[in-house]
Amino acid sequence: MNTSAASSQAPRGRVQLLLLATLFFFPLLISYGLYYLFPQFQPEDKVNYGELVDPARPLPEMQLVEAGPEAGESPGDETLFRGRWTYIVRAGSRCDQACLRALVMVRQVRLAMNEKRSRIQRVLVLSDPAAVETVAAELASEHPDLRVVAETTEVAVLDTFLQPAGAAIHLSDPLGNWMMFYPELTETQTDFKGLQKDIKRLLRLSVIG
C-alpha cells in the first residue's frame, strides 16, 4: 500500500467513526433534551416511584398502642419497625379515602411478592389512640395482617419526623431506618407496579429482613 492511499483512508475512517458515534448518541441527546429542556412533552400520567431518603434516618423512639392481640403492650419502634421491610401509612382518627387508597396499594404489592411476602409488613399509624380498635375492626376483612397502632404521647413524633407531610406511603428497612417515601396518591393512581419494582429490587439486594 502506498503512502497516498493510506493517508486518504485515514480521514475516511475518522468520518465513519464520527458517523457511528453520532448515530449512537443522537437518540440519547434527543431524549435528554426533551426531558430537561421541554418538560411539557413529558406524559402527565407518568408513574411516580419512591423517592429515596438520603441518607436513611433511624425512626424516632415512640410509645405506641396496638390493636388486636397485642393491644395494651405499647410496642416500641425496636419491636414494631425492625425485622421486616415496613410500609407505613398515616391517618387521623379514621382511615379516609386517601388512606384506603394507600392501604390497597401496599396490600397488592405485598400479595404480588408471593413467597417473599413474609419479609414485608404494613403498619397504619393513627393519630388517635382511642380509635385504634375501631379502625382495626373496620379494616380487618379487607386488610388482614395489617397492624394498626397509634402514638400515646401528646406530641406525635412520627408526624413531624416523616416528611413531606402529604406523602401517602413511607418505607422503612428491617433495621428501623426510614429510607423511602411515595408522594400523595390521586384517585387515578391505582397501579402498584412502581412500588412493586422498588421492593423487588430491595429484597433482591438485601441480606436482612
Interval 14-50: pLDDT, tens:
777 777 666 655 555 555 454 445 545 554 444 447 8
β-partners of residue 56 are: none
Mean pLDDT of 116-121: 96
pLDDT value of residue 79? 81
Q: Are 66 and 147 in contact (CB under 8 A)?
A: yes
Beta strands 169-172; 177-182: pairing state: antiparallel
pLDDT value of residue 72? 46
Alpha carbons 59 and 132: distance in angstroms, whole number: 21
pLDDT band (50, 70, 90) for residue 187: low
The pTM of the full predicted model, rounded to 2 decimals, is 0.73
pLDDT value of residue 134? 96
pLDDT value of residue 46? 45
Cα distances (Å, whole numbers) of residue 187 to 45, 77, 100: 12, 31, 11
Size (the chain), residues: 209
First-to-last C-alpha distance (Å) of the chain: 67
pLDDT value of residue 23? 64
pLDDT > 90 in the chain, percent: 48
List the Cα angle 8/12/13 in 5-degree steps. Answer: 115
Interval 54-109: pLDDT, tens:
899 999 988 899 987 554 445 555 589 999 999 999 999 999 999 999 999 999 99
pLDDT band (50, 70, 90) for residue 191: confident
pLDDT value of residue 10? 59
Mean pLDDT of 182-188: 73
Residue 149: pLDDT above 80? yes
pLDDT value of residue 9? 57
What mean pLDDT value characterizes the chain?
81
